[in-house]
A and B are shown apart, each in its own frame.
Chain A
Amino acid sequence: QVQVVQSGAEVKKPGASVKVSCKATGYTLTIYYIHWVRQAPGQGLEWMGMINPSGGSTTYAQKFQGRVTITSDTSTSTVYMDLSSLRSEDTAVYYCARDRLPGGIDYYMDVWGKGTTVTVSS
């Protein structure tokens, strides 16, 4: 069964960093791009960036440039999203989602993780 399985909830203090993982199961990680999308409480969806796990090339939304780093570990079929300098506005559910087509030429997301809640609070 094709899935992306995310790590558990995190509570962080302002200024800290958080690293969320996303493990691909039921398919080969390197064949599909992985996106990261977040959703603040009661708000809409916000795309943060994506990675080609085959080679590690990334594209980030300008809003997050310099604060977000997306990496992949093909040996464990896992993608990571690291967000630094956390502030209260970063409190959200963070989703990883697989691109719809192999090779990443689609940029629609058809397999989603259940989400990881990140709470930033002093």
Chain B
Amino acid sequence: EIVLTQSPATLSLSPGEGATLSCRASQSVYSYLAWYQQKPGQAPRLLLYDTSKRATGIPARFSGSGSGTEFALTISSLEPEDFAVYYCQQRRSWPLTFGGGTKVEIK
């Protein structure tokens, strides 16, 4: 099973600041990595897939990079609605696995 480790666990930032979230895989997932956003009491929402492709309706301030075992989600300038928990997910092998999440909170 591929283990995804996200860091940091919590990121405290102000609106307008940039954010970089990390996801490290225990073995190569090539570029088969997605990012989801989850707000309290809501289902996750797909943001990016295949490392850097934005899902339908996702604003350009969300971008992704990386390959192999190291990946990053960058939010260029935080909007109030971006404060949430973010999860990475790999589809390289079964079972599909998610990282433990990074919470982006308002400083």
Contact = CB atoms under 8 A, between A and B. Distances in A.
A45 B97 CA distance: 8
B95 A45 contact: no
A95 B98 CA distance: 14
B96 A47 contact: yes
Interface in B40-56: 42-46, 49, 55-56
Given A45-B98, A46-B98, A107 B56 contact: no
A44 B101 CA distance: 7
Contact of A63 (B87, B89, B95): B95
A44 B43 contact: no
Contact of B43 (A47, A59, A108, A114): A114
B46 A44 contact: no
Q: Chain A's interface: helix, strand, loop or mixed, by majority?
A: mixed
B49 A113 contact: no
B99 interface: yes
A93 to B, nearest CB: 9
A59 B46 contact: no
Contact of A62 (B44, B95, B96, B100): B95
A80 interface: no
B34 interface: yes
A61 B95 CA distance: 5
A110 B98 contact: no
A96 to B, nearest CB: 10
A82 interface: no
A107 B92 CA distance: 9
B46 A110 contact: yes
Interface of B: 34, 36, 38, 42-46, 49, 55-56, 87, 89, 91, 94-101
Given A44-B100, A45-B38, A47-B95, 9 more contacts: A45-B101, A59-B94, A95-B44, A106-B91, A108-B34, A109-B44, A110-B46, A110-B55, A112-B45
Please name the 6 residue pairs, one residue from A and one from B, whose CB atoms are nearest each other, closest first: A112-B43, A61-B95, A107-B91, A45-B98, A47-B96, A108-B49
